[in-house]
Structure 1
Amino acid sequence: MEGGIVEAGGAPNETTLAGTPEDIKKLVSSSFGGTDDIELEGSVQLKDFPIGIPVFKWDAGYTYLHALGLGSNSTYLNALQKAGNIGSRVWSIFWGRVWVEDDLDGSLVLGGYDEEKVTGDNYTAPLDYDDYVGSSGCFTGMRVVLSDIKVNFRNGTEKSIFPTDTALPCCIDPHHHLLLDAPTAYVSNFQQVTGLFASSEAYSRGFHYDALMFERDNAFDGDITFHLDSGLQIRVPNDQYMVPSVNYQANGGRIQDPDTYELLIRGHNDDAESHLQGMPALLGRYFLTAAYLMVNHDAGTFTLWQANPSNSSKLVRVFDEEMGDKCGAKSGVIQPSASYYTAASSISASAATKPEDDDEINTTHDSKGSSSPSGAVIGGAVVGSVIGEKDKAEDTYYYYSHEEMERDQTPELDANQQATVE
């Protein structure tokens, strides 16, 4: 295991944008590199795969496990696609749920998504890798705008924690260790609305680093709902963001303190004295206890649904348009490229002045009156699924082989269609 990451076959540089941990760019030059055979449970083995071993804490110490990179130039996804194990560089994630009566495992699907883990309409937008400030993008490529965050009380009432007439752009970061990072005003409003104040401020130095800690008897018991300006609403259960304190033992195990709870919402001041200065607002891994995320690097898009917390699984392959042309209708679902959603957004925004018979892109008005892409436009190709024959539906968990592709009339779903082929 001698030499660096580049010598082992890894990428020679790391792109850093506003919000990216500053020390990540040091990983290439400082980490050990080597190759090994790698096989994730349920997948195939990749031989002589390049692996980097960091030799110092990075990501401010939040990253305790070896990270599996699934970014736009992911060595892992590229290798799987080149070997013919997946047809598209698509990955989907549901974080799962813990601290409930029956823990629910999370899932990572490569090459498609799990139809049983989603419910309702979805929101699809282009991946946009850029600096958070002064652009429409962010370092993860996945930027959404929150129009409101509401606290849901047990008696059925709800209250907003948003300052008046504001919107909050957020980067979705599945790697982030909390539910929400936001300007301090939002956290202060949450505490005012819920009456959640610690007798003495203490912050976690364990698994949920920097989370505000409370005595169990003082913990808030309501849910929280994130309202996207697209109309999508994601309600996170109380037990997924108001959680028992978790710390590490000397042997690497975890220890839970049932008498101390942590609020997985962190505030940051955008000033020079704050170690979070310049950081964008973030929706982290616990957002994905209630939302389901799919990223399609080949199409250049990401898609969000409300998650259906289920142990059931029904995998659907997803292709970009080029790969879809090579595959049959019974192989999977075609998702249009990012330009489709950009064009659809433009048409939707100007629909009031465009002729009704302009069917270049099939769109409808959003009944919620959102100024962002309408619910019809963002539905995209993955609203429905194209189901293959029974024997093909029982293929290897994440992958399909090119030999199983069939040329056929592949349905390309427009924004309003849901297609199923029995």
Structure 2
Amino acid sequence: MHSLFVSALFFQTIFIFPTSYAANCKPRAISLPFKSNVLVNRAQARGVSWQIGSPNAQTIALFPSASYNDTYLYGATGLCATNVTLEKCTTFRGGLFNGAQSESDTVGASIKHPYDDATASWTTDKVVLQDSADKSIDLGSHEFGLRAGTSHEYVNKGELGLGKNSTFLSALSSGQKIASSTYSFFWGTDAAISDNPRNGSLTLGGYDQALVGDAKNTTTKFTRNNWRCREGMIVELTGLALQSEGGGTQNIMDETETMQACVVPTLSSVLTLPTQYWNKTADLMGAKLSPLNGGFSGALFYHLASVRPNTATFNGNLSITINKALTITIPNKQLIFDEPYIAPNGLIMRNKDWKNIPIVRYTDLDQNMPRLGGMFLSSAYLMVNHDKDEFTISGVQETPAAQKLVGIDTTNSCIANVEGGTTAVPEPSTPASHSSSDSKALSGGAIAGIVVGILALIALIAGIAFLAWRRRKIPANVQYKAELAASHDGVALVENDRARVVEKYGYSVSELYAGQRTGELPGHASEYVVELDGRSKPAEAPVYGAERDFLMTERR
């Protein structure tokens, strides 16, 4: 059952009673930033940060998984192809955990946990979280899996399990960090696609009232028996339209048409749609697919629509209506953007020669269903309550505000503002003003300051020289972009094969056991695994071990 104003979850009460209404109410909640994290290769990867191991903690960036109960990440090899640099692989996977470098690491068995259907080598180690106020939260020794085989190409990073029987949520509850099996997620705006990024957040045990304000919302019961949506979060798409800059509306779906869609927060896309709806969207936008790689983007945001820049001129927005109750608008800046890629040194760059539209298209109607991905949650807010077996989607406030955590106490059936849960928004810095009399003469302190400044300048020049020497062996961005441009012109890399790659379910497919071999790639595929930038349009960009074999089997 759907409701315009949330009735059974937790919004309705908090709008009326913003503080505790029960004497014994003991809500607890924490909020973790979903943002760019600096990895060991000094590049950045977006996700929820785990600091793992001791004495020197290793940073791993994870995507929140609504289907997994356990947490899975990648080990020291990253399961990357041999001709992919370690730096690039590290960024692609959101960090690589090396148990040999942790004194607190305990290795367990290599088994498959039945519900997750994922084979991994189980490891227990110290885990520390950093909340949105930059305070450390010690999770203690926590078990997680190091993948024995890759997931699928649509989710390239490790995944933080938040399913109904989540071991992570259980650990937080046992440690009295949260008081309910609830979480809320906001994707934010990725620095990979925008010069004005916005941090997202994963709130555990409640939600952030500052993000939702008085926005409309809709609540839906979980659907646990649909094999095409293991997340269990199915909504009805009751409207899909393009809003022109002048205010006109062009419908992608007929006004009487509806489609079921699965909410999959781990996907780096806004929508996954049958090809017929993509075709209509492209026609209305005037967008033309790139001639290579089947019109798909590279591996960082895998399989998004890649279009020619001169046809990416649509200036309007995309509106998505859910359950006939809530319309979410995807602004133009998140609808069309330069294609991001990972350079050999691990840094995420943008390729202005191709534009991406965050829509994935598919033709296998029996095996797939429409999906709302993580980028949809740049303009919407997801709130999950496993205790009541329901979830809510709300609009979000466009202007960032100070965080205001609301905790949920399931035991006492109450909600309340969390003590100390408000984090102040830093004020913008203002240049200091100086009176004219301050510059009339140099004092002894000013002279000393000049000397210090000169010494700092010398140190800076020396540092720049050192970095230039250190990076001599890493190709310059301009150099390899020129090389890729040459390979891009007039070379169609197995375009037909790429068009037939089928996304399975929107969550990780069944894992391939380590060492399992199901097929061989044609010789040309590995030739183009070097770049992820979408300009060279790699045949498999990148293709990783068993994942590569799986795809080849599917194509056959």
Q: Where on the TM-score scale, by shorter chain, does this alignment land: which range?
A: 0.5 to 0.7
1:309 maps onto 2:401 in alignment: no
Alpha-carbon offset, residue 218 of structure 1 = 1.8
Is 1:257 the equivalent of 2:348? Answer: no
> How do 1:178-193 residues align onto structure 2 when only pairs under 5 Å count?
178-193=269-284
Structure-2 residue corresponding to 1:268:
362
Alignment of 1:379-398 (within 5 A): 386-387=416-417, 392-394=419-421
Quote the offset at 1:394 in angstroms. Answer: 4.3
Query: In 1, are the aligned partners of 2:207 and 2:405 still within 8 Å (CA)?
Result: yes
Instruction: Write the distance in 2 (CA, Å) between the matches of 1:36 and 1:387.
Output: 32
Could you tell me which residue of structure 2 aligns to residue 92 of structure 1?
184
Q: In the alignment, residue 113 of structure 2 is paired with which amino acid? A: P
Q: CA deviation at 1:165?
A: 3.4
Give the aligned residue type for 2:108: G
Q: 1:412 is matched with which residue?
A: none
Distance 1:130 1:241 in 2: 32
Kept after mapping to 2: 8 A contact 1:150/1:158: yes
The code of the aligned residue for 1:176 comes to L
Q: Percent identity?
A: 26
Runs of 4+ in structure 1 deviating by more than 6 angstroms, as ranges, are: none
Q: Which residue of 1 aligns with 2:84?
A: none
Contact 2:297 2:306 (C-alpha < 8 Å) held by counterparts:
yes
Q: Deviations over 1:121-164 (max 9, x none)?
A: 2111212222157xxxx321111101110101111111100146
Distance in 2 between residues matched to 1:393 and 1:199, nearest whole Å: 51
Deviation at 1:179, TM superposition (A): 0.8
- 1:96 and 1:264, CA in 2 relative to 1: closer, same or farther beyond 3 A? same
- The corresponding residue for 2:220 is 125
Match of 1:212 among 305, 312, 330: 305
Deviations 1:2-30 (A, max 9, x none): 33366xxxx83225xxxxxxxxx2x23xx
Residue 374 (structure 2) aligns with: 285
- TM value normalised by structure 2: 0.52
Q: Secondary structure of 1:39's match?
A: strand
1:2 aligns with 2:107: yes
Question: Displacement of 1:101 after TM fit?
Answer: 4.5
1:51 maps onto 2:139 in alignment: no
Shift of 1:229: 2.5
CA contact (8 A) 2:243 2:250 kept: yes
Distance apart, 1:253 and its partner CA: 2.9
Gaps spanning 5+ residues in structure 2: where?
1-105, 425-556
Task: State which of 166, 180, 197 in structure 2 corresponds to 1:74.
Answer: 166
Decide whether the 8 Å contact of 1:116 with 1:310 is kept in 2: no
Partner of 2:342: 248
1:227 matched to 2:329? The reply is no
Q: Does 1:14 align with 2:115?
A: yes
Task: Classify the secondary structure of the residue corresponding to 2:122.
Answer: strand
Q: What SS is found at the alignment partner of 1:323?
A: coil
1:268/1:214 CA distance change after superposition, 3 Å? same
| Number of positions where the alignment pairs a residue of Structure 1 with one of Structure 2 | 309
> CA 1:278 to 1:148, structure 2 compared with 1: closer, same or farther past 3 Å?
same
Deviations 1:41-87, CA, capped at 9 Å, x for gaps? 125212220011113221x2222222111111111001111121100
Shift in Å, 1:189 = 1.0
Three-state SS of the structure 2 residue aligned to 1:292 is strand
* Residue pair 1:172, 1:284 contacting (<8 A) in 2 also: yes
Q: Distance in 2 between matches of 1:63 and 1:290?
A: 20
Q: Which residue of 1 aligns with 2:247?
A: 156
Partner of 1:64: 156
CA gap of 1:50–1:144, structure 2 versus 1, over 3 A, is same
Kindly report which structure 2 residues correspond to 1:331-370, keeping only aligned pairs within 5 A, or say none.
333=415
Change (3 A) 1:309 1:107: farther
Q: Secondary structure at the match of 1:197?
A: coil
- Aligned equivalents of 2:407, 2:381: Cα separation in 1: 15
Cα distance change, pair 394–68 in 1 and its aligned pair in 2 (3 A)? closer
Partner Cα distance (1:125, 1:324) in 2: 23
Deviation at 1:216, TM superposition (A): 2.3
Residues 179-227 of structure 1: CA deviation (Å, up to 9, x unaligned): 1111111111101222212362531122121122123232132210001
Q: Is the 8 A contact 2:305 2:360 kept in 1?
A: yes
RMSD: 2.4
Q: Does the 8 A contact of 2:189 with 2:378 survive in 1? A: yes
Instruction: Tell me the TM-score normalized by structure 1.
Output: 0.68
Q: Read off the aligned partner of 1:202 and give its amino acid letter.
A: G
Q: Which has the larger radius of gyration?
A: 2
Structure 1 counterpart of 2:402, one-letter code? S
Q: Which moved more, 1:44-53 or 1:97-106?
A: 97-106
For 2:265 and 2:364, locate their aligned partners in 1 and report how far apart those are by CA, in whole Å: 22
CA shift at 1:114, angstroms?
0.7
Q: Is the 8 A contact 1:90 1:296 kept in 2?
A: yes
Query: Tell me, what secondary structure is at the counterpart of 1:117?
Result: helix
User: 1:168 pairs with 250, 255, 259, which one?
Assistant: 259
Contact residue 5 and residue 50 of structure 1 kept, 8 A: no
CA distance in 2, matches of 1:395, 1:195: 45
Relative to structure 1, is the Cα distance of residues 324 and 317 closer, same or farther in structure 2, using a 3 angstrom cutoff?
Answer: farther
Contact 1:4 1:52 in 2 (8 A): no
